[in-house]
Amino acid sequence: MKYFKINSLWKRQGWYFDEEEKKSPNCQQGKQSFIVGDYACPEFGNVKTWNVTEKIDGTNIRVMYNQGALSFGGRTDEAIIQPHLLKYLQDTFTPELIHLAFPTADVHDITLYGEGYGPKIQAGGGNYVQDVGFVLFDVLSGKFWFDRSMVKETAAKLNIPVVPDLGRMTEDQIVDLVKSKPLSQCSWKPQTMEGVVCRADPEVYFQHGAVVTFKLKCKEF
C-alpha cells in the first residue's frame, strides 16, 4: 500500500498551478502562495493540537513484508530506488529482523514507511548523513496504523532512526516555528530544516482511514 498523500495546511493561489507563472521571481518573490486560513482539508480546522515531527528531504521508501517475502518500493510501485540506497535497504532489513520486531508478521502484512536520505538522494542530502540511510516515520500492520510511541518502539527494535519529535503544538505555534527556519535536528552538518509533518493529537482519521496529517515547508515562507 502506497503512503497516503499529505496535504499542506492551506490551499494555494491559482497561480501556483501555472508552471510558467510559478517560475517568475516577481510572483511573491518565488514563494508558494498560500490562502491563509483556507484549509486544504476541512478536517484541519477541527484539530486544536498537533504532534509535530521534522520533515526530511529525501525519497519516500516502503519496506514491505508479506507472507514471508520482503520487498522494497518507493512511494509508488513504479518508482525506481537508487542502487546504492537499495543495497543499504537489503543489507539493513531481513525477514529474520522483521520477525524479531513483529512476532505476528506471518499473520499481518507489515509496511515500514520512511525516508531514504543521504548523498546522491536529494540536493543537500549529504548534510544529513555521510552515507545513505533510512529514517522511519510510520508503520502499518494489517489495516492498523501505529501511534507515535509504537513507531518509536519499532525503530528501536530494528536499530534504525526515527524522525525527530518537535513537540505538541497549536497551529499558530507550528507556523511560527516554520517561519523561524530552524536547523534540522538530524543533520551532522548544520542546515535549515526542510519542514514539519503534523499529526492530529489526539488522533482522528480521514474517511479513507489515514490519520489527519498536514505538512509545511520552511521554503514556503
Total H helices, total E strands in the chain: 5, 12
Task: Report pLDDT digits (tens) over 33-89.
Answer: 788 889 999 999 999 999 999 999 999 999 999 888 899 999 888 889 999 999 999
Q: Which grid cell is 6?
A: 499529505
Q: What is the structure's pLDDT at 2?
A: 83
Return the pLDDT at 24. Answer: 65
Sequence spans of domains, the chain:
7-55+164-220, 59-158
What is the reported pLDDT for 32?
Answer: 57
pLDDT of residue 25: 60
102 touches 141 (CB < 8 A) = yes
* pLDDT of amino acid 4: 86
* Residue whose cell numbers read 502499518: 140
CA angle 93–54–35, rounded 5-degree value:
130
Beta strand 133-141 pairing with 165-169 = unpaired
How far is residue 144 CA from its own chain's centroid?
18
User: Phi first, then psi: what are they for 88, rounded to 5°?
Assistant: -60, -45
Residue of 201, 207, 209, 221 lying closest to 46 (CA atoms): 201
Ranges of residues in the chain whose predicted pLDDT is under 70: 14-32, 105-107
Q: Which grid cell is 142?
A: 494489517
Determine the 3-state secondary structure of 135 from DSSP. strand
Task: Report the CATH fold assignment for 59-158.
Answer: D-amino Acid Aminotransferase; Chain A, domain 1 (3.30.470)
